[in-house]
């Protein structure tokens, strides 16, 4: 199970932004198989369990379906070993970790046969036409994709979508697949990345089952192949893809391809390039500012989060590389807001983007200086801040100092923890959350923080 879990995670990694992967997917651990056939997935805490369940649950399930060919329902819960660390920051130094409980007796997993569906076809649930924002940058591609989703008679075959990274190629391609499955549920739709196509081809060839490979791709009604620039220089795979393409094309089946470049610019076999150019070639451009704002508002709306116009505008203006990065920035904002239990304000957004929006005027304040200033303010010694002393006399200023380190410097949580006597990053996270909470109820504290910040930021 460990083995297919890591494959599942690897395939999800290819489908989400690095931020999403690092924040939510990477920390997941496979848990037990339950007697009802579900498999447990262990998350860092309850919040993460909820978040991952609602946002990435079906993505994980479809990744498993693709890896194993079965529908494996998942259930998410906080890992008892990890979950409470945030709540008990000053716990005694870790004693030798308890050995993990022995694995439960193997339960026959109860694979459920999947009807043809989005998960079996490898489609990502949230990449639909409904969640795709249309602007001048993608109008034409969107219209073409929408026409293709109406099905036969085939208008454009293949539909070839190209554009820079993170501009919505994969999203648009999946959207067609979803629409087709919704309107005509018995259509066999298959999504595959070029890389997956290649590894499957190699694996099946090794197992001496080339025919099975051919059959699975040639029996579909609609084939979506993502990022075909990956085929550049891979002769054997190109050859096989050429045959797959011809077989489907000859049978009047729809093919959609995406790539980072125009067909004729790719280092591919001439036969393939001219095949690709036969259909309709559409491109995706970087969305303009209004469209970027609309994308942010839509994502926030989907997450059920209230995003003020000024904040959305600020983010959209600051990030103009591509939509994936825009989305990554928004996710960081959501994550920071929930971790620190603070509302999404301009200040919070600026803080979460600090590393992106480098502000050269800002003086780098050393952590020791913060420790010294806070210690003097509360009439204790800087050593006390780094010590293990747990009484409130020390723990309160310590939390304040940690909070100020986070607010006033670019140091990460682990870095700050390190400089406070080698504490865990969750302790710092906890301190920041506590101080944020306390200062909203305690105006004297808010004042103290204000004066400390001013002293330090002179």
**Beta carbon of residue 324, minimum distance to ligand ADP (angstroms, whole number):** 4
Q: Which residue in this structure is represented by tokens 């694979």?
A: 111
Residue closer to Mg ion (CB basis): 11 or 170: 170
Query: Whole-number minimum distance, CB 222 to ligand ADP, in Å?
Result: 18
**DSSP for residue 84:** G
**Cβ closer to Mg ion: 165 or 205?**
165
Residue nearer to ligand ADP on the CB measure, 296 or 380: 296
- Contact residues toward ligand ADP (CB under 6 A) are 127, 131-133, 138, 163, 165-171, 295, 323-324, 327
Find the shortest distance in angstroms from Cβ 353 to ligand ADP: 17
Q: How many residues bind Mg ion (CB under 5 A)?
A: 2
At closest approach, how far in Å is the CB of 269 from Mg ion? 22
Give residue number: closest CB to ligand ADP.
168
Q: Nearest approach, Cβ of 324 to Mg ion (angstroms)?
A: 9
Say which entry of ligand ADP, Mg ion, none residue 411 contacts (CB below 5 to 8 A, set by partner kind): none
Per partner kind, with CB cut-offs from 5 to 8 A, the member of Mg ion, ligand ADP, none near residue 138 is ligand ADP
| Total Cβ atoms within 10 A of residue 219 | 13
Give me the long-range contacts of 137-141 (CB less than 8 A, separation at least 24).
137/167, 137/284, 137/285, 137/286, 137/287, 137/288, 137/291, 138/167, 138/168, 138/172, 138/284, 138/285, 138/287, 140/282, 140/283, 141/172, 141/282, 141/283, 141/284
Question: Which residue, 49 or 133, is less far from ligand ADP as judged by CB?
Answer: 133
Of the pair 119, 138, the CB lying nearest ligand ADP is at: 138
Q: How far is the CB of 288 from Mg ion (least distance, A)?
A: 21
List, in order, residues 6 or more apart from 58 with CB less than 8 Å away: 119, 125
Q: 255: which strand partners?
A: 223
295 vs 429, beta carbon nearer ligand ADP: 295
The nearer residue to ligand ADP, 40 or 325, going by C-beta atoms, is 325
Does residue 419 touch Mg ion according to CB under 5 A?
no
Q: Residue 282: beta bridge partners?
A: 161
Name the DSSP letter for residue 124: -
Least distance (Å) between residue 330 CB and ligand ADP: 10
Question: Rounded distance, CA 328 to CA 157, Å?
Answer: 33
170 binds Mg ion (CB under 5 A): yes
Could you tell me which residues come within 8 angstroms of residue 40 by beta carbon, excluding any fewer than 6 positions away?
Answer: 30, 31, 32, 33, 34, 74, 75, 76, 77
Q: Which does 158 bind (CB under 5 to 8 A by kind): ligand ADP, Mg ion, none?
A: none
Strand 39-43's sheet: what is its strand order? 29-33, 39-43, 74-78
If we measure between CA atoms, which residue out of 389, 387, 385 comes closest to residue 402? Answer: 385
Give, in degrees to the nearest 5, the angle at Cα 257 between 253 and 260. Answer: 170
Chain positions contacting Mg ion, by CB under 5 A = 169-170
């Amino acid at each position: 199970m460990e083995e297919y879990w890591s494959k599942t995670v690897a395939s999800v990694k290819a489908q989400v932004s690095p931020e999403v992967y690092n924040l939510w997917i990477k920390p997941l651990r496979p848990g037990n198989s339950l007697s009802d056939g579900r498999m447990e997935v262990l998350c860092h805490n309850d919040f993460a369990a909820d978040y991952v369940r609602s946002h990435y649950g079906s993505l994980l399930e479809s990744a498993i379906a693709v890896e194993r060919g079965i529908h494996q329902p998942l259930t998410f819960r906080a890992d008892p070993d990890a979950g409470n660390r945030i709540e008990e920051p000053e716990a005694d130094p870790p004693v030798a970790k308890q050995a993990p409980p022995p694995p439960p007796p193997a339960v026959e997993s109860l694979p459920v046969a999947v009807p043809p569906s989005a998960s079996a076809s490898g489609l990502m649930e949230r990449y639909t036409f409904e969640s795709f924002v249309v602007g001048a940058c993608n109008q034409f591609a969107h219209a073409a994709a929408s026409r293709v989703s109406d099905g036969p008679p085939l208008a454009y075959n293949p539909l070839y979508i190209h554009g820079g990274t993170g501009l919505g190629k994969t999203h648009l391609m999946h959207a067609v697949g979803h629409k087709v499955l919704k309107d005509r549920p018995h259509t066999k739709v298959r999504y595959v990345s070029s890389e997956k196509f290649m590894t499957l081809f190699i694996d099946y060839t090794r197992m001496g089952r080339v025919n099975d490979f051919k059959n699975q791709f040639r029996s579909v009604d609609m084939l979506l192949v993502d990022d075909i620039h990956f085929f550049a220089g891979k002769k054997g795979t190109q050859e096989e893809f050429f045959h797959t393409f011809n077989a489907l094309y000859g049978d009047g089946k729809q093919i959609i391809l995406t790539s980072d470049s125009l067909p004729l610019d790719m280092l591919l076999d001439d036969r393939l390039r001219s095949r690709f150019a036969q259909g309709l070639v559409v491109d995706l451009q970087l969305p303009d500012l209004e469209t970027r704002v609309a994308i942010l508002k839509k994502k926030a709306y989907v997450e059920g989060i209230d995003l003020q116009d000024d904040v959305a505008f600020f983010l959209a203006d600051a990030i103009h590389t591509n939509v994936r990065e825009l989305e990554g920035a928004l996710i960081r904002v959501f994550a920071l807001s929930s971790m620190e239990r603070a509302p999404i304000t301009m200040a919070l957004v600026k803080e979460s983007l600090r590393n992106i929006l480098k502000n050269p005027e800002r003086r780098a304040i050393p952590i020791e200086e913060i420790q010294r200033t806070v210690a003097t303010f509360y009439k204790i010694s800087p050593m006390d801040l780094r010590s293990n002393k747990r009484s409130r006399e020390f723990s309160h200023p310590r939390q304040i100092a940690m909070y100020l380190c986070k607010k006033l410097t670019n140091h990460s949580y682990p870095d700050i923890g390190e400089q406070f006597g080698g504490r865990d990053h969750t302790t710092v996270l906890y301190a920041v959350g506590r101080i944020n909470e306390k200062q909203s109820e305690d105006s004297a504290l808010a004042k103290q923080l204000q004066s400390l910040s001013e002293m330090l930021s002179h």
